[in-house]
Chains A and B, each alone.
Chain A
Amino acid sequence: MADIAIRNVEKSYGKTAVLHGINLEIADGEFLVILGPSGCGKSTLLRMIAGLEGITRGEIAIAGRVVNTLEPRERGCAMVFQNYALYPHMTVAENIGYALKVAGLPKAERERRVAEIARIVGLEAFLARRPSELSGGQRQRVAMGRAMIREPKVFLFDEPLSNLDAKLRVQMRLEIRRLHQRLQATSVFVTHDQIEAMSLADRIVVMNQGRIEQAGPPRLLYAEPATRFVASFLGAPAMNLLPATIVAKDRARMADGTEIALDPGRFVVEIGQAVEIGIRPEDVMIVWPGSEGAHALEVEFTEDMGSSRLIHTRLGGMEFTVLQPAAQIEAEGHLPITIPEDAIHLFDRHSGKRLERHIPVIGTAASAAA
C-alpha cells in the first residue's frame, strides 16, 4: 500500500508563492499524470513528494505516514529525471546497482538483481558501457532500471521523455505503460505534453499557475473540461475558442454579429453575459452548401496530416480550425459548416469556468474549486 495524500500544500521561494494550497489524493497503484505548462509548479510538486524541495505549508503523506521532515532516501520513492541523471563515471551495471550497494546488499544478490532488471529494460548487452556511450533512449532505460531495482513504493517521473526524439518518445511511452501494468506501483508522472498525459494516465491533474485546474480521467477532462484553460490545453489540434455575448437563452453573438445557437436546456447563463464558446475542430460538421443554419467559412489554408486534414478558416473574424477526414473531398474557397449544439463547451469569459447545469464531479475534481 502506497497511496499519497497531499493536503493544503503550499510552496514559496521568499515572497514568491509558486504553489497555492494543493489538495490531491493518489490511490495505491494509480498512474497519475500532472500536466501543465512550464512554470505551473508541477515539477516543484513532484520534487516535494520526493523530498528534494521543502514544504512551506501543508503536509504530504506516503502510505499514511507524513513525510514532510523525512530525507529523500527515507521516503521509499524512486525518481526518473528529464536529463537521465546517470552517474557519468560508472558503467550501466554500476548505475543500476548502485542503490543496492549503498544499501549494503551482498555482491551476488546485487548482480542477480541487476541482470534481472537489465533484462526487463532490454539493456543486457550494454551492462559494461558508460552512459556517454549510449543513445538517449538507452540512457533513459538505464535511469528507469536504476529506479526499478529498488522496488520502490512510489515512482516519480519528471518529464522523462522530453529529451527523446518523437519516435522514441512514443516507444518509451508504451514501455512505461507496460512497466506500470507489470509492477503496479503508484506512479506520478509530470509532463507538459498533453498526448503523453492522455495516453499514460489513469487520471490527469491539470495545473496552472500553482493551482489545480481539474483532476479526472483523461476522457472526462477531454469531454468536459472544467475551465477554459483545461479546454485549451488538452487536445491537438487545440479547441477553437470564440468570444461572444449571450443575447438570448439560446443564442450568443460574436463581436462582428455572427450568431451561434445554444441548447437552452444545457447552460445556466444570463442575458448580456460575456462568454467563450469552445468547439473542438473534430466536432465541426461540414455540410452541403445552403444547408439551414450553416456558416460559410472562408478557407485560408489547409494542413495535410495524413489520416486527416486541418482546415484553417475564420469564423466571426476569429481563427477557427476544422478537422476533416482525409477521405473527404478537399474544401476550397468557402466551407459550409454547422456547429452541433451538444458539442459546444461554454465558459465564462471572466472566471474561465465551465457553464453547465450539471458540474462534473468525478475523482477529486472538486478540488479544482479550491
Chain B
Amino acid sequence: MKAVRFPLPAGRLLRFAGAHAVLLVGAAFMLLPFLWMLLTAIRAPDEILTGGLNPIPRSFHAVENFSAAMQQAPLLRFMVNGVIICSGILIIQLLVAIPAAYALAKLRFPGRGLLFAAVIGGLCIPIQVPALPIYLALAEFGLLDSYFAMMVPFFLSVFAIFLFRQTFRGFPDEILQAARVDGLGEFEILWRIVVPSALPAIAAFSIFSIVAHWNDLYWPMIVIQRMDYAPPPLGMLFFANSETGASYGVLMAGATIITAPLVIVFLLARRRFVQGITMTGIK
C-alpha cells in the first residue's frame, strides 16, 4: 500500500462491515457441514464425537479412513455412474433446450406465446408430480434399473429453455439477418453464431444441471435397485447401510471423495458461472 489514506467515510465503512458480517455468518452456516465432514474424515473413531471443532486431531486417521472407504465401497463405480448420468442428461438437455429456446426467442410462428406460457408453467411442476406415471411407464417397458431410467425424466429441462430464451433474446436481430443474407440456415445460425455468444449462460446452466443430478438421491432411489447403477449419493446410502454401520470416519471420507469433483468443477467454471447468471446475452 503506497498511499496511506482511509478509503471510506465512517458511515459507509460501518455499513460495509455490517454487510460482510452478515455474509460471513451465512458463509459459515454453508461451510460448517463441509468442514465437519472433512474433520470427521481425518479423525480416529474415538475422537469423532468428542473432538468438537478442533481442526487438528490428536491422532491423524485420514489415511486409514480414506483407504477403508476406497476398499469397502465401489466409490469409483459410483462416480463413473454419476459421470455417465450427468453427462447424458446434460447433453440431451442442451440439444433439446437450445433449439427450443432459439425458436421461442427469435422465430415468429403461431402459438409461440402459448408455448412459452407452457414453459413457464412447466417451471412450476416438481419432479415428484410426474414421478409415478414415469415410474409405471418405465416398469411397463422393463426399463427400470438402467441408466436410461435415471436420465429420462430430465431430458427436457424447462429451466434451460427459459434461461436460454432470455439469453438469446438479447442477441441482436441484425446479426441473424446478416447471417441469413450470408447464406446460413437457421440451424447453422444457431450453433455457429448464437451459441458461441451464449457460452456463459450455457456454462451456468451446465453447473446447475450437473450439481443437481450428481447430488440427486430421490429419483435414483425410486428406479434403481442394483448397486452397479447407483450414482454417488445412492451409492453412499447403500454403503452406509451395508458396510460401515457406525463408522462415520470412513463414511465421511467416502462423502469427501464423491463431493470433490463437483467442488473442483465449480471452482474451474466459477467466473463463467457468475457471468451467466448475472447477465443475459451480449450487447
Q: Is the CB of B196 within 8 A of A73?
A: no
| A103 on the B face (CB < 8 A) | yes
Cβ-based interface call for A128 (8 A)? no
User: Within the complex, which residue of A72, A88, A89 is in contact with B181, where a contact is CB–CB below 8 Å?
Assistant: A72
A214 CB to nearest chain B CB (Å): 29
Chain B residue numbers with a CB within 8 Å of A150 are 182
Alpha-carbon separation in the docked complex, A72 to B179 (Å): 10
Residue of A nearest to B195 (CB): A89
Give Cα A79–Cα B179 distance, bound, in whole angstroms: 10
CA distance A78 to B175 in the complex (A): 13
Bound Cα distance from A281 to B282, whole angstroms: 47
Q: Counting CB contacts under 8 A, is B72 at the interface?
A: no
Chain B contacts for A102, CB-based, 8 A: 182-184, 188
Residue on A nearest B282 in the bound complex, by CB: A88
Name B173-196 residues within 8 Å CB distance of A.
174-175, 177-184, 188, 193, 196
| A81 interface neighbour in B178, B183, B197, Cβ under 8 Å | B178
B172 sits at the interface (CB 8 A) = yes
A146: chain B residues within 8 A (beta carbon): 178, 182
Is A81 within 8 A of B182, CB to CB? Answer: no
Q: Does A52 contact B177, Cβ atoms closer than 8 Å? A: yes
* Contact among B177, B179, B180, B183 with A87 in the assembled complex (CB-CB below 8 Å): B179
Asked if A78 meets B174 with Cβ closer than 8 Å, knowing A88-B197, A89-B196, A102-B188, the reply is no
Which A residues touch B172, using CB under 8 A?
83, 85
Please name the residue on chain B nearest to A158 by beta carbon.
Answer: B174
- Asked if residues A103 and B183 are in contact (CB atoms below 8 Å), the reply is yes
Q: How many A-B residue pairs have CB under 8 A?
A: 56
* Chain B residues closer than 8 Å to A229, beta-carbon distance: none
Residues of B within 8 A of A86 (CB): 175, 178
Q: How far is the CA of A52 from the CA of B183 in the complex (A)?
A: 12
Tell me if B181 and A73 are in contact (CB < 8 A): yes
CB pair B175–A73 under 8 Å, yes or no, is: no
Complex Cα–Cα for A52 and B174 (A):
10
**Cβ < 8 Å to B, chain A residues 124-148:** 143, 146
Interface residues in A76-124 (C-beta closer than 8 Å to B): 77-79, 81-89, 98-99, 102-103
In whole angstroms, what is the CA distance A73 to B175 when docked? 14
Q: Could you say which of B174, B180, B197 contacts A72, with CB atoms under 8 Å apart?
A: B180
Q: Check if B180 sits within 8 Å of A52, measured CB to CB.
A: yes
Q: Is the CB of B196 within 8 A of A83?
A: no
Name the one of B178, B196, B197, B282 contacting A79, with C-beta atoms under 8 angstroms: B178
Closest to A79 in B: B181
**Residues of chain B with a CB closer than 8 A to A88's CB:** 175, 197, 282
Q: What is the minimal beta-carbon distance from A103 to any residue of chain B, in angstroms?
A: 6
Q: Which of chain A's residues have a CB closer than 8 A to the CB of B197?
A: 88-89
Number of B interface residues, CB 8 Å? 16
A71 to B183, CA, bound (A): 9
Would you give the 0/1 interface string for A44-56, flagging 1 where the beta carbon is closer than 8 Å to chain B? 0001001110000
* Tally of contact residues, A, Cβ under 8 A: 26
**Pairwise interchain contact A73-B183, C-beta atoms closer than 8 A:** yes
A51, A52, A87, A98 interface centre (most CB from chain B within 10 Å): A87
Cβ 8 A contact of A52, one of B175, B181, B193, B196 = B181
Q: Which of B174, B182, B184 has the most CB of A within 10 A?
A: B182
B181:A83 contact, CB within 8 angstroms: no
Residues of A within 8 A of B184 (CB): 73, 102
B174, A82: Cβ atoms under 8 Å?
yes
Give the residue name and chain of the B residue nearest to A80 (CB). B178
Across-interface contacts of A52 in B (CB, < 8 A): 177, 180-181
Taking a contact as CB atoms under 8 Å apart, the answer to whether B175 and A85 are in contact is yes
Contacts of A78 in B (CB 8 A): 181
Assuming the A-B contacts A73-B182, A88-B197, are A81 and B282 also in contact, with contact meaning beta carbons closer than 8 angstroms in the complex?
no
CB-nearest residue of chain A to B175? A85
Contact with B along A218-250 (1 / 0, CB 8 A): 000000000000000000000000000000000
Q: Whose C-beta in chain A lies nearest to the C-beta of B184?
A: A102
Could you tell me the distance in whole angstroms from the C-beta of B267 to the nearest C-beta in chain A? 25
- State the CA gap A52–B175 with chains docked (Å): 12
CA distance A153 to B246 in the complex (A): 80
Neighbouring A residues of B193 by C-beta, 8 Å: 87
Q: How far is the CA of A81 from the CA of B179 in the complex (A)?
A: 11
Closest to A149 in B: B182
Q: Which residues of chain B come closer than 8 Å to A84, judged between CB atoms?
A: 174
Q: Which of B226-251 contact A (CB under 8 A)?
A: none
- Closest A residue to B171 using CB positions: A88
For A81, the chain B residues whose CB sits under 8 A away are 174, 177-178
Report A-chain residues with C-beta under 8 Å of the C-beta of B178.
Answer: 79, 81, 85-86, 143, 146
Closest A residue, CB atoms, query B176: A85
The complex places the Cα of A370 from the Cα of B193 at a distance, in Å, of 43
Q: Within the complex, which residue of A51, A85, A89 is in contact with B174, where a contact is CB–CB below 8 Å?
A: A85
Q: How far is B177's CA from A71's CA once the two chains are assembled, in angstroms?
A: 11
Q: Which residues of A contact B181 (CB under 8 A)?
A: 50-52, 72-73, 77-79
Considering only CB atoms, which chain B residue lies closest to A81 in the complex? B174
CA distance A146 to B97 in the complex (A): 31
Q: Apart from A71-B180, A85-B175, A85-B178, what are 15 other A-B pairs with CB-CB below 8 Å? A: A47-B177, A50-B177, A51-B180, A51-B181, A72-B177, A72-B180, A73-B180, A79-B178, A81-B177, A81-B178, A98-B182, A99-B182, A99-B183, A146-B182, A150-B182
Which 7 A-B residue pairings sit nearest by Cβ, starting from the closest? Answer: A73-B183, A85-B178, A85-B174, A99-B182, A89-B196, A72-B180, A81-B174
- CB pairs A–B below 8 angstroms (8 shown): A51-B180, A72-B177, A77-B181, A79-B177, A79-B181, A85-B178, A86-B175, A87-B179
Binding site for B on A (CB under 8 A): 47, 50-52, 71-73, 77-79, 81-89, 98-99, 102-103, 143, 146, 150
